[in-house]
Amino acid sequence: MTDHHSNAATSADDAFLAALVGALQLNADQHGKFAWIISHLSVGNTAGHAPSIKRFWGSPLVEPAPCISLKHSATPPDLSPWILDPAAVPVPVFSVPLLPPPTPAPISTTSAPMGPSGEISFGPLPTNAIIVPQDYNYHVPSPTQRGPYYLVTRGLDIGIYVGWEPTTALMIAVSHSIYCRVPSIQVGYIHLNVAIKGGRAAFLP
């Protein structure tokens, strides 16, 4: 015969265990292990009736408390922006090595020095030289053209020329070419006539 007081105590124990299990927020596996432990502990309990496992086992699990939502503040916090001072950060300078200018092809030319007597010193003629004939009408600038004047006695052509550019055009990549600077057209005329008469002026193809 069941005592009314015992039934009331059992109901209170069941309610306590059910609330305890729900407060622990156990998952299904942990919930089963907890019920198994309680059932084994209640076997040796002779002081009173063990609480009904089925009653609190069937109690619904208490859902976990919802997460606390963080509200987004429309006003940003007063934080100093993380901006680097341009003056404090050195700007790397990439040094590009300057390449030396390409070395032009050597021009085999000779500036013929004048001897003590004012004559031009000539070297031996190359094998491909063509001696200028005596009646050759070489180039002479106009008397109104101002110097500097250059005399070319061996090159693609011979004559007296004004300026360095026309002179070098007759000697570029021409081996054994000979030139010299003269103070006037008249001086160049005299030296060139002497070179032609002596067979020293030549075309170098």
pLDDT class for 62, splitting at 50, 70, 90? Answer: very low
Average pLDDT, the chain: 70
Q: Give pTM, 2 decimals.
A: 0.44
Determine the Cα angle at 192 with ends 186 and 194, to 5°.
110
| Average pLDDT of span 99-110 | 55
Can you tell me the mean pLDDT for 168-189? 87
In angstroms, the CA 121 to CA 113 distance is: 6
User: What would the pLDDT profile of 127-137 be if each residue is shown by its tens digit?
Assistant: 888 999 988 99
Q: Does position 95 have pLDDT exceeding 70, yes or no? A: no
- Domain coordinates in residue numbering, the chain: 4-57, 109-203
For the cut 90, the answer to whether the pLDDT of residue 58 exceeds it is: no
Question: Residue 78's pLDDT band (boundaries 50, 70, 90)?
Answer: low
- Predicted pLDDT of residue 136: 92
Average pLDDT over residues 127-156: 90
Query: What distance in Å separates the CA atoms of residue 122 and residue 108, rounded to the nearest whole number?
Result: 15
| Comparison of pLDDT for 204 and 16, the residue scoring more | 204
At 33, is the pLDDT very low, low, confident or very high (cuts 50, 70, 90)? confident
The pLDDT of residue 102 is 59
Least-confidence region, from 5-19, 136-150, 164-178? 5-19
Q: Averaged over 85-101, what is the pLDDT?
A: 59
What pairing do the DSSP bridges indicate for beta strands 130-131 and 177-182?
Answer: unpaired
Decide if pLDDT at 201 tops 60: yes
**Position 173 confidence tier, pLDDT thresholds 50, 70, 90:** confident
